[in-house]
Amino acid sequence: MKLLTCHDLCISYNGQLVVDHVSFSLEQGQYLCIVGENGSGKSTLVKTILGLVKPQAGHIAFSNMQRKEIGYLPQQTQVQKDFPATVFEVVLSGCLNTRGMRPFYSRKEKDLALKNLELLGIGNLRKKSYRDLSGGQQQRVLLARALCATKRLLLLDEPVTGLDPVITAELYSLVKRLNQEHHITVVMVSHDIASAVTYADQVLHMGSHMLFFGSVQQYRTTELYRHMTGGCDCD
Q: Model-level pTM? A: 0.90
Percentage of the chain modeled with pLDDT above 70: 95
Confidence of residue 104 (pLDDT cuts 50, 70, 90): confident
Single-letter residue type at 208: S
> What are the boundaries of each domain within the chain?
1-70+184-235
Tell me what pLDDT residue 235 has: 54
Regarding the domain delimited by 1-70+184-235, which CATH topology (the fold level of the hierarchy) does it fall under?
A: Rossmann fold (3.40.50)
* Digit-coded pLDDT (tens) for 132-152: 999 899 999 999 999 999 989
User: In this model, does residue 228 exceed pLDDT 70?
Assistant: yes
How far out from the chain centre does Cα 100 lie? 23
Mean predicted confidence (pLDDT) in 206-220: 93
Average pLDDT, the chain: 90
